[in-house]
């Protein structure tokens, strides 16, 4: 039996796992793919796992507690709100995510929505399809290089939005992220604000890109929307539950601000009768921001690199529960990787 058992939970049981095998080629690993149909099946599958690579929604407390000696749980996605983080920490399991695997894609979605809202692209297209030739319905259109962008979250994705909109479209950029060090603020030429409400009050466009956790759940709602300029726009490309959706709907109905671009919703798949889909000043996408051909293989490479680092006795670069370190022996630093398989 191989010394390392890696259980891939969810997905195609006939998947060749090319990226996973390539990244762990120097390790003696047994890969096991299981697509459980119940929590009980998932619990049984992970019992002997040294590492779990999660492609389904089986990151529950019971499944995690069923492990005997698991060292790491890696999700292929950027978001990890489907995993019980506390259970991982209690069991001494390092939780990693795909941080950086779709930063360009998600930031492009935010930028696209900002520009589409500015130029009223979707609204005027719909007007023309309805036989309405009336440019006044799209006005006023602000000069975006004279307007202010507010970024909630300044991680990999937020920094790419700042680079594209700040340098490319010359927008003044405000950042709310209490975890951002001052040297990054200086490097990107942005202004850091330490009050979320101040950002909402001053910005012409607001883009949200933070992980969903206890700290960020419903961090944005009526209090913030009431402070927005009537001419401002709101964009969310991270997780729907970062925003109190009923309060967002109420604010749009009351014209507290001009419109929104939404890639995510509190309920997904969203209810077809969601009022947001019927608003002419809202543009939407079905949680598509992180998608691209590159992101699809990069998510595999990223997850595999994290697991390989832990199995080699190192600390992974994308650990999301740093507090688990107090339960574990000291580890070295994860070495860099060029990636064994691309595309």
Looking up residue 115, the CATH number of its domain turns out to be 3.40.50.720
Q: Tell me the residue range of the domain where 22 lies.
A: 4-100+292-333
* Co-location of 273 and 299 in the same domain: no
Over residues 207-263, the pLDDT tens digits come to: 999 999 999 999 999 999 999 999 999 999 999 999 999 999 999 999 999 999 999
Closest CA to 160 of 199, 110, 88: 110
User: Does residue 197 lie within any of the structural domains?
Assistant: yes
Instruction: Tokens 């740093």: give the residue.
Output: 322
Coil, helix or strand at residue 199? helix
**Integer Cα distance of 297 and 318 in angstroms:** 17
Task: Please tell me whether residues 75 and 169 are part of one structural domain.
Answer: no
Domain boundary among 250, 266, 284: 284
Condensed to tens digits (0 to 9), the pLDDT of residues 173-208 reads: 999 999 999 999 999 999 999 999 999 999 999 999
Q: What is the pLDDT of residue 225?
A: 98
Residue tagged 């670069």 (tokens):
317
Q: Domain for residue 15, yes or no?
A: yes
Residue 56 banded pLDDT, cuts 50, 70, 90? confident
Q: What's the mean pLDDT in 276-291?
A: 97
Q: What percent of the chain has pLDDT over 70?
A: 97
Q: What's the total number of domains in the chain?
A: 2
| Same domain flag for 62 and 143 | no
Enter the tokens of residue 328: 């574990």
For residue 343, tell me if it sits in a domain: no
Please state, for a pLDDT cut of 90, what percent of the chain lies above it.
91
Which has the closest alpha carbon to 54: 294, 309, 303, 291? Answer: 303
* SS3 letters across 111-166: HHHHHHHHHCHHHHHHHHHCCCCCHHHHCCCCCHHHCEEEEECCCHHHHHHHHHHH
19 is catalytic: no
Indicate whether 262 belongs to any domain: yes
Same domain as 71, residue 11: yes
Is the pLDDT reported for residue 337 higher than 60?
A: no
Which is the catalytic residue, given 55, 287, 300, 302?
287
Please check whether residue 195 lies inside any domain of the structure: yes
Dihedral through CA 39, CA 45, CA 51, CA 55, nearest 10?
Answer: -50
> 263 and 118 in one domain?
yes
Same domain, yes or no, for 18 and 66?
A: yes
Q: What is the pTM of this model?
A: 0.90
239 is catalytic: yes
- Active-site residue 268, yes or no? yes
Residues 273 and 125 in one domain: yes
User: What's the pLDDT band for 343 if we cut at 50, 70, 90?
Assistant: low
Q: Is residue 278 part of a domain?
A: yes
Mean pLDDT of 51-77: 96
pLDDT attached to residue 342: 64
pLDDT of amino acid 338: 57
Q: Residue 318: how many CA atoms within 13 Å on its side-chain side?
A: 26
Give yes or no: residues 38 and 81 share one domain: yes
125 and 190: one domain? Answer: yes
Say if residue 247 is in the same domain as residue 197: yes
- Catalytic residue, chosen from 19, 78, 239, 302, is 239
Task: Tell me: do 187 and 60 sit in the same domain.
Answer: no
Q: Is 249 found in the same domain as 199? A: yes
Kindly name the residue from 30, 268, 323, 333 that is annotated as catalytic: 268
Coil, strand or helix at 62 = helix
């Amino acid at each position: 039996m191989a010394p390392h058992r890696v259980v891939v939970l969810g997905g195609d049981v006939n998947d060749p796992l090319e990226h996973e095998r390539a990244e762990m080629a120097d390790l003696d690993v047994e890969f096991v793919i299981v697509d459980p149909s119940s929590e009980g099946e998932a619990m049984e599958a992970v019992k002997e796992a040294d590492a779990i690579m999660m492609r389904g929604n089986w990151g529950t407390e019971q499944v995690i507690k069923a492990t005997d000696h698991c060292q790491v749980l890696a999700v292929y996605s950027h978001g990890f709100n489907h995993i019980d983080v506390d259970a991982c920490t209690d069991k001494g399991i390092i939780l990693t995510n795909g941080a950086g695997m779709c930063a360009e894609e998600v930031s492009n979605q935010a930028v696209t929505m900002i520009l589409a809202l500015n130029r009223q692209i979707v609204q005027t297209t719909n007007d023309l399809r309805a036989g309405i030739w009336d440019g006044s319905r799209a006005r006023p259109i602000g000069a975006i290089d004279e307007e202010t962008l507010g970024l909630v979250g300044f991680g990999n994705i937020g920094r790419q939005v700042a680079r594209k909109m700040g340098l490319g479209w010359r927008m003044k950029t405000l950042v709310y992220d209490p975890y951002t060090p001052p040297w990054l603020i200086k490097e990107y030429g942005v202004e850091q604000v330490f009050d979320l409400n101040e950002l909402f009050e001053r910005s012409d466009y607001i883009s949200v890109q933070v992980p969903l956790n206890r700290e960020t759940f419903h961090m944005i709602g009526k209090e913030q929307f009431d402070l927005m300029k009537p001419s401002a726009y709101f964009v969310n490309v991270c997780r729907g539950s970062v925003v109190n959706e009923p309060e967002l709907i109420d604010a749009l109905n009351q014209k507290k601000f001009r419109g929104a671009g939404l890639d995510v919703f509190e309920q997904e798949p969203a209810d077809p009768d969601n009022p947001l889909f019927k608003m002419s000043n809202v543009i939407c996408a079905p949680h598509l921001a992180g998608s691209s051909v590159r992101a699809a293989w990069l998510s595999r490479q990223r997850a595999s690199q994290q697991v390989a680092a832990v199995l080699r006795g190192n600390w992974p670069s994308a650990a999301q529960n740093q507090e688990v370190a107090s339960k574990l022996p000291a580890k070295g630093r994860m070495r860099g990787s060029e990636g064994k398989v691309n595309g």
